[in-house]
Structure 1
Amino acid sequence: MRAIAYFRLTGSTPDALASMEHDFKRYCTYEMHQPYQMFFTEGPGVGTSDAAFRRLVDFLESSDSQFLVTVPDASHLGGDLESIARSIVELDRLGAEIKCWDDEYPDPFQNTFNTQGIAGVSVTRSRKVKEAMEARALEGNVLGRVLYGYRAGENGNLEIVPEEAKVVELIFRLYTRDELGFRLIAQELNERGIKTRRGGSWNVVSIRDIIRNRSYIGTYERFGIRRPGMHEAIISREVFNEAAERLRSRKPTGRIVQPKPFLLSGFVYCGYCDNKMMGVTRRQSWRRKTDNRRVTGVYRYYQCQSKNNQSTCDYHTWKEDALEREALTQVKYTVLARAAGVLQDDGEEDRKREVANLRRERVRNAERLFKRAMRRAAKNEIGVREVGEYLAALDLARKSETRSDEPSDVIGVLDNWATLDLERRKDFLWEHVARIIVQDDKVEVEV
């Protein structure tokens, strides 16, 4: 494959350029690529705004061929996680594959964490800490948060906490013998008044994590190290295998259906418990009595997340179409009235502070999700396109945070709402809506 080199020179001498060229050609020789062209910058800047990077982008856009873009390591693509990700996403958009010359970490996402580490943590120190933790893992010592059902003993190994162990046994019994799902198990524990270690309510994720964890049969797993019999088991291997088999049998097979996103996700809050409401898609099939043909129906609605994950709120739901129609009516009235100066309230300053806090929280949440996406990409769980979507969501959150209170072309957007795609509609909501409070019989929009 024809390969292009992009790099930053650390020195302006001919030897520095010759050294980079030598390394590039050696990489191409070992990987059996054809060296085609080099783009490099001699200044401190790297990333999508760098002049050399823009020349590379122009070259790729004007070419009908596919190229492999290579870099010495990910730091030549940017100075931090976000700038590196933006460079990778832009090159991928142009059909280029990206690789690093690093033999151990050729994947750019994996190389990013190897060169950048975690914000605020020295890469060298991080490696030393990891090596020390791996040595402790070989001994079966507790690392990080102690698993529910156990405590850290004096020798550093796991010891059973009898009261919590009974709960773990109950969870496995409800899952295997009584065949309850994760949500019903969480509901059962919450109704019995059983709390998590932190005194909170059980949810789907906490139940799932217990069912999947091999540590409950006495096996220690960390950093790819698996050592059986390192501590006392709470669950027998037979029960654990039965749970694992049921878990596998419940996984969907065949074609994976990606449901259509919900327009109001991230905006809708339950008016009774103040938790977010989440979009739910349900598919149901039945046979018609008239001709015995199988018919499938798809039902989409918003449901209180507390009920869905923790079973701690009542069954508050709205059908997707009904809630979005009512919410849009409220948005039109509230946004237009406030833009015209008609809608005033005594708590205007308090409202502005609350909205500003919500927007800052959205930015923090978008940044957290982006970093998680980068880690998933480094594990090959998602691709470049998905990372790009998280970057777009981050940009949208930042745009919403910094916008002025003067709406732009509100009337034009609302008049043409039916012709807008989902992304443009969501963009408008991010710009003008803080929260949508939903009760069973009314909807209130906060802007």
Structure 2
Amino acid sequence: ALRTYRTDAPTVGEENGKSQQEFESEFQDYCYVNLHQPVEIFGDLSPADDGKYPEYERLVGYIRDSGSEFLVTVPDATHLGGDLEAVARAFLSLENMGSKVSCQDDDMPDPLQNALVTLGAPGASRERSEKIRMSMQNRALRGKGLGRPPYGYRNGEDGTLEIVKDESPVVELIFRLYTRDRMGMRLIVQHLNERGITTRRGGNWNVVSIRDILKNTVYIGTYTRFGLRLPGSHEAIIPRDVFREAQDIVRERRPLGRVSRPEPYLLSGIAFCESCGNKMMGVTRRQLWRNKDGNRSRATYRYYQCQSRNNQSVCGYHTWREADLEGAVLAQIPLAIEMRALRKLAYRNGGDKSEQALKKIWEERVRNAERRFSQTLRKTASGALKTDQLERALAELDKARTLAEKSDQPVDVSDMLDKWGERDFDEKRDFLLTHVARVEVSDHMARIVA
């Protein structure tokens, strides 16, 4: 086993400091109790001028050069980094070299779980977190509602789910349209929205919300939480036979066999409907027909379509063929980048409004990547996701930051566009994300903000 520690770690300050001798003595005791062979200790007093910890860097080199796998122990996660991102990077780096990382904490040895407690929300403590978790589990055991109740129910005074009289008929209608009338989810969405039947928050329905209702066992009186399943814990809205029929239909309509994954769309996330402001989503249509000679033919068509139209049936058609929209965007890029450069020259002292808007868009992209990383870290720590997904989230965060920096740098646009057909998807996507902040799409025109 190897030990690394930092005397300037946040938790060391909470303990009024520890000497190097104390850290090393703790490691020897830990190895003796857990039957590990102590190999070497790498202790840092403070970072170097470049912000790196010399002894930790020596630890990494030691593992890499030895070609062996080690158990790397730390007093707690703060000895790997001062924030969640730094801990995750150090953890993944050591794990990728074949070593295992463990905190000297009998209650929470996993570094990611330990980091969420020691570096999580200000004021959060392990004891308080554990009490909250146990309290929630006990409520679940008694069939008490946790968090926001599903549509059709509310949390009663005693904590159990109670039917909302204004909402339960809508739940019944959704199941009736799906089972008796054999109406698809998109048609149900259209049916509800066209009649002004809104969600609890007064918004439009979408396919995801309909699917969630059709698959939720809460509507037959079964409460499910924390892996617990409690039938008859509250009053049902839907009979069990109707619910089972709905599940059968869901399975019938699920595609069988190998489902091909369509190629991703270049303008995903940056193309928006000018009418409603929602995103334009990529849609793939497949057609199969029989020719006069009896042979079968098939074709695949790719479009961009307003997400509101596709999921909520509340916006106009606003559909563009993939090649047409992407071609319209590419044609505008040279002039848009040139105009952007001219604006910078004209407004060197602070930039114009469009430049500030572009900066805000990039800041939001980075913030979104940071949020996705935090969510992935929590799910990985809980065991819901694997570490490779955490690694991907960090890579996406790095990419968002890099592209945000590159968006302000000069680029050989002509060369990129002249050889567009030779570029792979990632190169094209990076170029667009770097130099196109937003594409506003109407029926007959697409306008880019660069």
Mapped partners of 1:26, 1:418: distance in 2: 63
What is the letter of the counterpart of residue 137 of structure 1?
A
Q: CA 1:129/1:159 → structure 2, altered by over 3 Å: closer, same or farther?
A: same
Mapped partners of 1:28, 1:299: distance in 2: 63
Structure 1 match to 2:15: none
Offset of 1:329 from its aligned partner?
1.3
What is the letter of the counterpart of residue 325 of structure 2?
L
What is the letter of the counterpart of residue 19 of structure 1?
E
Say yes or no: does 1:143 pair with 2:146. Answer: yes
Mapped partners of 1:379, 1:183: distance in 2: 34
SS at match of 1:437: strand
Mapped partners of 2:261, 2:92: distance in 1: 22
Offset of 1:298 from its aligned partner?
3.7
- The 8 Å contact of residues 116 and 123 in structure 1, kept in 2 or not, is answered as no
Mapped partners of 1:184, 1:111: distance in 2: 47
Mapped partners of 2:262, 2:243: distance in 1: 32
Give CA-to-partner distance per residue, 1:6-39, whole Å, 9 cap, x none.
554653333421322442565565xxxxx58546
Candidates 373, 388, 391, aligned match of 2:391:
388
Candidates 438, 444, 447, aligned match of 1:444:
447
SS at match of 1:162: coil
Structure 1 match to 2:321: 319
Structure 2 match to 1:305: 307
Structure 1 match to 2:248: 245
Give CA-to-partner distance per residue, 1:239-294, whole Å, 9 cap, x none.
2222233334444565565443322111101122111112233445455554645x
Mapped partners of 1:297, 1:382: distance in 2: 37
Range moving further from structure 2, 80-89 or 20-29? 20-29
Mapped partners of 1:101, 1:282: distance in 2: 55
SS at match of 2:166: helix
Offset of 1:366 from its aligned partner?
1.8
Say yes or no: does 1:200 pair with 2:203. Answer: yes
Q: CA 1:423/1:43 → structure 2, altered by over 3 Å: closer, same or farther?
A: farther
Structure 1 match to 2:273: 270
Offset of 1:411 from its aligned partner?
4.7
Offset of 1:59 from its aligned partner?
4.1
Candidates 332, 335, 338, aligned match of 1:333:
335
- The 8 Å contact of residues 24 and 41 in structure 2, kept in 1 or not, is answered as no
Range moving further from structure 2, 243-252 or 101-110? 101-110
SS at match of 2:301: strand
Mapped partners of 1:158, 1:165: distance in 2: 13
Offset of 1:301 from its aligned partner?
2.4
What is the letter of the counterpart of residue 237 of structure 1?
R
Structure 2 match to 1:43: 45
Say yes or no: does 1:23 pair with 2:25. Answer: no
Offset of 1:309 from its aligned partner?
1.8
Structure 1 match to 2:80: 77
- The 8 Å contact of residues 5 and 24 in structure 1, kept in 2 or not, is answered as no
Mapped partners of 2:321, 2:236: distance in 1: 46
- The 8 Å contact of residues 74 and 108 in structure 1, kept in 2 or not, is answered as yes
Structure 1 match to 2:181: 178
- The 8 Å contact of residues 219 and 236 in structure 2, kept in 1 or not, is answered as yes
The answer for unaligned runs of 5 or more in structure 1 is: 30-34
Offset of 1:362 from its aligned partner?
1.9
- The 8 Å contact of residues 270 and 437 in structure 1, kept in 2 or not, is answered as yes
Structure 1 match to 2:158: 155
What is the letter of the counterpart of residue 198 of structure 2?
K
What is the letter of the counterpart of residue 30 of structure 2?
D
The alignment's C-alpha RMSD in Å is 3.5
- The 8 Å contact of residues 12 and 42 in structure 1, kept in 2 or not, is answered as no
SS at match of 2:244: helix
Give CA-to-partner distance per residue, 1:291-336, whole Å, 9 cap, x none.
645x554433222111122121122222222222221111122113
Candidates 10, 13, 22, aligned match of 2:20:
13
Structure 2-normalised TM-score?
0.82
Mapped partners of 1:95, 1:283: distance in 2: 45
Mapped partners of 1:230, 1:284: distance in 2: 47
Q: CA 1:219/1:364 → structure 2, altered by over 3 Å: closer, same or farther?
A: same
Offset of 1:191 from its aligned partner?
1.2
What is the letter of the counterpart of residue 228 of structure 2?
I
- The 8 Å contact of residues 284 and 302 in structure 2, kept in 1 or not, is answered as yes
Q: CA 1:101/1:185 → structure 2, altered by over 3 Å: closer, same or farther?
A: farther
Give CA-to-partner distance per residue, 1:324-368, whole Å, 9 cap, x none.
2221111122113432569989xx722223223222222222222
What is the letter of the counterpart of residue 240 of structure 1?
F
Q: How many residues align?
A: 436
Mapped partners of 1:339, 1:69: distance in 2: 51
- The 8 Å contact of residues 172 and 243 in structure 1, kept in 2 or not, is answered as yes
The answer for unaligned runs of 5 or more in structure 2 is: 13-17
Structure 1-normalised TM-score?
0.83
